[in-house]
Amino acid sequence: MTVVIICAGGPEEEVVSNDFLFSFQDVKFIGADHGAVYLLNRGIIPDLAVGDFDSLTNEEWQLVHERVPNIQRHKPEKDETDTELALLKALEFNPTEILLTGVTGGRLDHYEANLHILYRVQKMYPSIEIKIINNFNCLQFLWPGEHKIVSDHYFKYLSFFAFGDVVRNVTLRNVFYETTDEVIDIGTTRFTSNEIVGDYASISFSSGICLMIRSIDDKE
């Protein structure tokens, strides 16, 4: 059960905590551009660093060049973003789960691009769980069917949004606000800030793509 953690070069405060990074046994780390420096700063030597590395200083590039055993450097003039290149390389490890961190905050166009990259790759590889995670949020896409959601003592709140089209026949169980055969419309906020009751909850729906966000209030 290999987990691949991709650390991208967004604001460093958006990178998930060291406790989380060191909590896995069978894990591979990929540094996307400046994310390779973030991992090295936290005592983690990436299995791979990928990108154009145009955001690194000469000293930072020398550090990556000396410490990381596998580096794939690309020209800045390319069709893919550094995060997209890292995500495509992550698939080569045959993972059961891919976690992207350092891809939120900062430039909103970068965040939006990363969200759509996650959607596209998740659609291509539905058997792999792919998530965006930082210290306050965990995002992932759900396809039609039934999904078990295990309770997490850290991410308290549970929200659902329609992505691209209406989500139909939505049934939520073992949450504070249960529903049966409801609809998540584009633009609605009705399915925001639910909470799991017990050890797990479930969501099922018949059509559409659902963006699930698990969060904790930054004041907690």
Last residue of a domain, one of 135, 161, 182: 135
How many CB atoms lie under 10 A from the CB of residue 95?
Answer: 21
* Statement to judge: residues 180 and 95 lie in one domain: no
* Statement to judge: residues 146 and 131 lie in one domain: no
pLDDT surpassing 80 at residue 1:
no
Q: Strand 145-150: give its sheet, edge to edge.
A: 145-150, 200-205, 167-173, 179-184
Q: For the whole model, what pTM was predicted?
A: 0.91
* Statement to judge: residues 175 and 201 lie in one domain: yes
The two three-digit tokens of residue 126, written as one number: 């539905």
* Statement to judge: residues 185 and 121 lie in one domain: no
Residue pLDDT, tens place only, 166-182: 999 999 999 999 999 99
Model pLDDT, residue 220: 55
Average pLDDT over residues 108-132: 91
Asked if residue 97 belongs to a domain, the reply is yes
Model pLDDT, residue 164: 86
Model pLDDT, residue 32: 94
* Statement to judge: residues 126 and 30 lie in one domain: yes
* Statement to judge: residues 55 and 122 lie in one domain: yes
Q: Which domain holds residue 208?
A: 141-215
191 vs 78 pLDDT, higher one = 191
- Among 66, 62, 50, 72, smallest CA distance to 6 is for 50
Average pLDDT over residues 106-127: 89
Asked if residue 105 belongs to a domain, the reply is yes
* Statement to judge: residues 97 and 164 lie in one domain: no
Mean pLDDT, the chain, whole residue set: 92
- Give the span between the Cα atoms of 81 and 71, in whole angstroms: 16
Burial (CB count within 10 angstroms: exposed 0-12, middle 13-18, buried 19+), residue 82:
buried
- For residue 179, give the CATH number of its domain: 2.60.120.320
Last residue of a domain, one of 91, 112, 135: 135
Average pLDDT over residues 100-129: 90
Last residue of a domain, one of 103, 135, 167: 135
* Statement to judge: residues 131 and 146 lie in one domain: no
CB contact at 8 A, 124 and 30: no
* Statement to judge: residues 46 and 116 lie in one domain: yes
* Statement to judge: residues 131 and 149 lie in one domain: no
Model pLDDT, residue 219: 54
CB contact at 8 A, 99 and 131: yes
- For residue 32, give the CATH number of its domain: 3.40.50.10240
Pairing label, strands 71-73, 48-51: parallel
Asked if residue 21 belongs to a domain, the reply is yes
Predicted confidence band of residue 52 (pLDDT cuts 50, 70, 90): confident
The two three-digit tokens of residue 200, written as one number: 């797990």
Asked if residue 220 belongs to a domain, the reply is no
Residue pLDDT, tens place only, 89-113: 999 999 999 999 999 987 888 888 8
pLDDT surpassing 80 at residue 79:
no
- Among 121, 143, 124, smallest CA distance to 132 is for 121
* Statement to judge: residues 47 and 74 lie in one domain: yes
pLDDT surpassing 60 at residue 54:
yes
* Statement to judge: residues 117 and 155 lie in one domain: no
Tally of domains within the chain: 2
